[in-house]
Amino acid sequence: MTTTHPEEVFEYNCSIGFGSDEESANIVYQTIIVDHELSTKVKRNINLHSSSEDGSHHLIINFTSSDARQLRSSVKGTLDTIHLSIETLTKFVEQ
């Protein structure tokens, strides 16, 4: 008798805050939203949340995958892109 097990699902969720800086939040959101996942095993959902209570802006990113390695790779790539975007924005603000 063969027993089948449901496919294991791995998840990673993160929230990146931008305080009241709506422009930077939108720029970073637009930067990462155009990059599609290379692996069909990874699903990525990205939302930009703006709070009417305190005026803060957050990127909310949810990853799910049946493959832990693919999930790690996707999360790392997305966070690297976000980091580079924020560094670039910071350099422009300094000038």
What are the pLDDT digits (tens) for 10-46? 999 999 999 999 999 999 999 999 988 878 889 999 9
Going from N- to C-terminal start, the domains of the chain cover 10-94
| Phi-psi label, residue 72: left if phi above 0, alpha if psi -120 to 50, beta otherwise | alpha
pLDDT for 3 beyond 80:
no
- Residue 46: exposed, middle, or buried by beta-carbon count in 10 A (0-12, 13-18, 19+)? middle
For residue 35, give the amino acid letter. Answer: D
The pTM of this model reads 0.83
Fold (topology level) of 10-94: TATA-Binding Protein (3.30.310)
Over residues 49-60, mean pLDDT: 94
* DSSP single-letter state for residue 6: P
The residue among 73, 61, 55, 65 whose CA lies nearest residue 28 is 61
Q: What is the CA radius of gyration of the chain?
A: 16
pLDDT for 6 beyond 80:
no
In the chain, the percentage of residues whose pLDDT exceeds 70 is: 93
**How many CA atoms does the CB half-sphere of 29 hold within 13 Å?**
21
